[in-house]
């Protein structure tokens, strides 16, 4: 069964991929002793956001897709928390943190908007 949604065409997926790429670039600047700590955690969470959107697009029901979007939104809040901690401990300077936080917030709004659309117009 072919999915109604081609994940590559979803703006929310595209924006969340851009967010993951940004996280990779920002965490490249973290100290090497954070490789298995904050760097790994932030990268994993950021990659999980578009990955779960892509996985959800292959589901055969809207309910299953919504579940994957719930996981994506949860990962985005995890990433937001990690960014806050990285800023507070001095790994992420305030200007870069503010921009990252803004990007995370935008992705969260897009996911929630997509969830609402999918909830009212199931496939």
75-119 pLDDT, tens digit per residue, is: 999 999 999 999 999 999 999 999 999 999 999 999 999 999 988
Q: List the domain range (segments joined by +) for residue 43.
A: 19-120
Q: What is the reported pTM?
A: 0.93
Distance (Å, rounded) from C-alpha 104 to C-alpha 76? 7
Per the domain annotation, does 115 fall within a domain? yes
Per the domain annotation, does 5 fall within a domain? no
Give me the number of domains the chain comprises: 1
CATH number of the domain to which 101 belongs: 1.20.1440.60
Per the domain annotation, does 9 fall within a domain? no
Per the domain annotation, does 77 fall within a domain? yes
Residue percentage of the chain with pLDDT more than 70 = 96
């Amino acid at each position: 069964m072919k999915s109604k949604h081609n994940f590559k065409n979803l703006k929310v997926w595209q924006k969340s991929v851009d967010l993951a790429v940004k996280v990779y670039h920002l965490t490249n600047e973290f100290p090497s002793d954070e490789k298995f700590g904050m760097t790994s955690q932030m990268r994993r969470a950021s990659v999980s956001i578009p990955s779960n959107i892509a996985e959800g697009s292959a589901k055969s029901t809207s309910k299953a897709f919504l579940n994957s979007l719930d996981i994506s939104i949860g990962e985005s809040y995890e990433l937001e928390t990690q960014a806050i901690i990285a800023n507070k401990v001095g790994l992420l300077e305030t200007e870069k943190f503010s921009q990252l936080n803004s990007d995370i917030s935008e992705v969260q709004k897009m996911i929630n908007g997509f969830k609402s659309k999918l909830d009212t117009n199931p496939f």
